[in-house]
Structure 1
Amino acid sequence: MALAASAVLTVVVVAGCQARDDWSEPHTAPSAIGTLGQGFLPDTPPTPEATITPSPGSWDDIRPSKGYRVVLLTAGKDKSTKTLVRAVNSWADEQDVSLKTIKVTKPADHIPLIEKAIALSPDLIISAGNDLVDPLTLVTASHLDQKFLVVGAELAEPTVNVTAADWTGASYRGEGLGMSSTYDPASFTAERAGRAIRAGVAAVLSDLTGIVIWLD
C-alpha cells in the first residue's frame, strides 16, 4: 500500500552513509553488544505482562549491533509526543541505528500505517504517541514475529512481542481505560524519555519482551 498523502515517511541517515540505510539490501540479523547490568531483572524471572523496575543505569552496557533497523511510528502533535520523537532520534544517532519514521496524521491511517511499518521488516518498531495505543492493540497480536516497543504508554493486554517503557505520569493504556489519575505531561522530559528508550531497547535485545519496564 502506498503511503497516504496525510502521512510522512522519512529516513534518518546515520553518519551520512546512504548505502547502509538501503533496507532493500540483505540484512544481517542484529545482536546485542554487551549485557544487562545487575539489578535490571528481579530475582524471579518476569512472567508475560509483568512489570519490572530496573535499577538506574543497569541498561547502560548493552546496545544494538551496527545497522539495527528501527521504524519510529508516531502520532500526535502534543508536546509529550514530540519529546519522545526527539529522544528516539537522539538515541538512533548515538547508537548507529538505521531509522525510518512514519508519522500518522489522520485516525483513518493508524492501522494502514502500522501495517506499512511492519511491511518494512524492521528489527524493532518504536511507538510514540497515545493515539497509537488502541490501533496497536488491534494489529500486534497478528504479527508475533515483529517486535514492538511502546514508549510512555502501554497496551492493556500486550502480546509477547510488545514491550512497554513507562513511568508515573505516563502509563496511558487505551481500550476505554482513559488517562491514569497520575498522568502528567510535564513528566515527559528529554532525560526520562531517553532512559525509557534505552531501557526498553535493552530489554528487547535481551529477549525480555511482553513486559513493562517501569522507570521512576
Structure 2
Amino acid sequence: MRFPLRAVAALAATAALVTGCSSGDDWSQPHPEPTAVGTLGGGFVPSPSLAPEATATPRPGSWDGVHPSEDYRVVLLTTGDDRPTRALVTAVEKWGEEEHVDLRTVVADNPHDFIPSITEAMEMRPDLIVSAGNDLIDPLAMVTPNHLSQPFLVVGAELAEPTGNVTAVDWSGASFRGEGLGASSAYDPASFTAERCAAAIRAGVAAVLNDLTGIVIWLDKV
C-alpha cells in the first residue's frame, strides 16, 4: 500500500513530527515492543558490544534462525527505479510476506519528496524503517541523528557517519555512502542478486532485533 506524500516543506514536516503529530492510521494503537524469535548462529558478529560504526562480516546463514515477533511493523522507504533498487524492494516485499510482517511502503518520487517522505515514514511510528535507494542516503544522514528513538535499516548502501539508530547492510558491489562521494569504484549493479538482497534484509533485521545497531553488516559472502 502506498501512502500519499504530504505537500509540505522539509523543515515544516520535521517540526510537525517533533511536536507529536500523528499519521492517524491504525498503527497509532498500542503495540508491544518487537522481539527476536530465535537466536543468532555462531559467527554473526565478533563481539556483542561492537563500537559504533564498526563493520561486521557475519558467517553466511548465521542470521537464518532469527525472525521478527508477531505484528512487526515495518515501513519500506524507497526511491528510484534502477535495477539494484528494484531488486532490494522485491527482496523486502518477499521477506515481509514470508515473515507475516505488517509492511507498508512510502515512495519518494523526486528529490523534493525525500525528507518529507522520511518524515511521513517516521510519523507512522513503525518498529523499523527500511531504506532502499541510494538517493535517500544524504537525506537520511540529515534526519536520523535527530530521531534516535526510531530504528532505521539501510540495505545496499550505508551512511558515512551513522548514529546508533541506523544499521546498514552493504557489500563490495554496493557500498554507496553519499556525501557527494558517489558510487565506489567497485560498484556493480550485477551484485544486487536476489540471493544477496534477500540475505541483506534478513541479516539486517536480525541485527536490529538483537540490538546490534549503528553498525555495518558486510555481506561479500552469502
Q: In the alignment, what sits opposite 1:189?
A: 193
Instruction: Give, in whole Å, the separation in 2 of the partners of 1:24 and 1:178.
Output: 38
The answer to whether structure 1 residue 23 and structure 2 residue 21 are counterparts is no
The answer to whether structure 1 residue 77 and structure 2 residue 77 are counterparts is no
The answer to whether structure 1 residue 175 and structure 2 residue 179 are counterparts is yes
What is the identity, as a one-letter code, of the residue corresponding to 1:129? Answer: G
Q: In the alignment, what sits opposite 2:131?
A: 127
Q: In the alignment, what sits opposite 2:170?
A: 166
Moved segments of 4+, more than 3 Å: none
Instruction: Select 2:98's aligned residue among 80, 94, 99.
Output: 94
Normalized per residue, which structure has more strand?
Answer: 1
CA distance 1:182–1:30, shift in 2 (3 Å): same
The answer to whether structure 1 residue 40 and structure 2 residue 69 are counterparts is no
Instruction: Give, in whole Å, the separation in 1 of the partners of 2:89 and 2:166.
Output: 19
SS of 1:80's equivalent in the other structure is helix
Instruction: Give, in whole Å, the separation in 1 of the partners of 2:181 and 2:110.
Output: 22
CA distance 1:115–1:182, shift in 2 (3 Å): same
CA shift, 1:158, in A, is: 0.3
Instruction: Give, in whole Å, the separation in 2 of the partners of 1:109 and 1:148.
Output: 18
Instruction: Give, in whole Å, the separation in 1 of the partners of 2:28 and 2:166.
Output: 25
Instruction: Give, in whole Å, the separation in 2 of the partners of 1:51 and 1:30.
Output: 24
Structure 2: where are the runs of 5+ without partners?
A: 8-24
CA distance 1:45–1:167, shift in 2 (3 Å): same
Identity of aligned residues (%): 66
What is the identity, as a one-letter code, of the residue corresponding to 1:168? Answer: S
Instruction: Give, in whole Å, the separation in 2 of the partners of 1:166 and 1:99.
Output: 22
Contact residue 75 and residue 129 of structure 2 kept, 8 A: yes
Q: In the alignment, what sits opposite 1:59?
A: 63
What is the identity, as a one-letter code, of the residue corresponding to 2:120? Answer: K
Instruction: Give, in whole Å, the separation in 2 of the partners of 1:152 and 1:59.
Output: 17
CA shift, 1:147, in A, is: 0.2
Instruction: Give, in whole Å, the separation in 2 of the partners of 1:43 and 1:98.
Output: 31
Instruction: Give, in whole Å, the separation in 1 of the partners of 2:5 and 2:75.
Output: 15
What is the identity, as a one-letter code, of the residue corresponding to 2:33? Answer: A
RMSD of Structure 2 on Structure 1 (CA): 1.4
Q: In the alignment, what sits opposite 1:13?
A: none
Q: Given the two structures, how large is their TM-score scaled by the length of structure 2? A: 0.87
Q: In the alignment, what sits opposite 2:12?
A: none
Structure 1: where are the runs of 5+ without partners?
A: 6-20
What is the identity, as a one-letter code, of the residue corresponding to 2:67? Answer: R
Q: In the alignment, what sits opposite 1:9?
A: none
SS of 2:167's equivalent in the other structure is strand
CA shift, 1:43, in A, is: 4.7
Q: Given the two structures, how large is their TM-score scaled by the length of structure 1? A: 0.90
What is the identity, as a one-letter code, of the residue corresponding to 2:103? Answer: L
Instruction: Select 1:207's aligned residue among 193, 201, 211.
Output: 211
Instruction: Give, in whole Å, the separation in 2 of the partners of 1:98 and 1:22.
Output: 11
CA shift, 1:4, in A, is: 4.2
What is the identity, as a one-letter code, of the residue corresponding to 2:189? Answer: P
Contact residue 48 and residue 212 of structure 2 kept, 8 A: no
CA shift, 1:44, in A, is: 7.2
Q: In the alignment, what sits opposite 1:8?
A: none
Instruction: Give, in whole Å, the separation in 2 of the partners of 1:56 and 1:212.
Output: 15
